[in-house]
Amino acid sequence: MKKLTNNNDARNLAMLSQFAGMLDYSLARYLMNARPWVRRPYLLLGAIARRLAIEHEHYAGEIVRLLHARRYTVNSRTFPMEFTYYNHLSLEYLAPRLLEDQNRLINFANAVSTELSGDYEVERILKKSLASLRRYGSLLEELLAPHRIAPPTSAEDRAVDKNAGRPPDRVKGRNARSMESQTAA
């Protein structure tokens, strides 16, 4: 097993740690926990987003295990604050942002891969993670192609399209449910 022999070992390991953090706290991982609502025509998009989150978690775990084996301390991270604005939005509205996040991860993984090109173990993990990132990136691009976008199917869905992906019961001016107590007197 060839280890990093460059004088910039700490910098290289920090880049690898940053990539692991980006994978572990990606938008796909946040959406897996936030559970955005999905219209029936977009169930495939929901399945891909869940699988993407699982892949991100897997490769982040592999990188962290490698860093721990090399006695590198991995710093804790949090989700970016901007992700909290995505709560209660539809996945079809968030899909372009998910694709942007995926492309950002691909670009960073390419940069890390060229920087750490002499380390075989890291190359193997990065090669597999890049293949996964590209595969799901192309799937997202295909699903977001104009010919694949599903038209609104009802008046309620049209209201969703007009209100930036907010579900009908969350749109300003509409009552979602009665707030009265459900208990009998």
pLDDT at 4: 46
CA angle 55, 61, 65 (to 5 degrees): 150
Query: What is the pTM for the complete model shown?
Result: 0.71
CB atoms within 10 A of CB 140: 23
Q: Are 42 and 140 in contact (CB under 8 A)?
A: no
pLDDT one-digit tens code per residue, 30-74? 888 777 777 766 778 888 889 999 999 999 999 999 988 888 888
Task: Determine what percent of the chain is predicted with pLDDT higher than 90.
Answer: 29
Q: Which residue has the higher pLDDT, 145 or 151?
A: 145
C-alpha dihedral (29, 35, 36, 42), degrees to nearest 10: 90
Domains and CATH numbers, the chain: 9-166 (1.20.1260.10)
How far is Cα of residue 103 from the mean position of the Cα atoms in its chain?
A: 10
Q: What is the pLDDT of residues 164-179, one digit of tens each?
A: 555 555 555 544 444 4
Is residue 147 very low, low, confident or very high in pLDDT (cuts 50, 70, 90)?
Answer: low
Mean pLDDT value of segment 137-166: 65
Which has the closest alpha carbon to 53: 72, 73, 79? 79
Q: Provide the pLDDT for residue 183.
A: 43
Looking at residue 149, its pLDDT comes to 59
Cα–Cα distance measured from residue 90 to residue 71, given in angstroms and rounded to the nearest whole number:
42
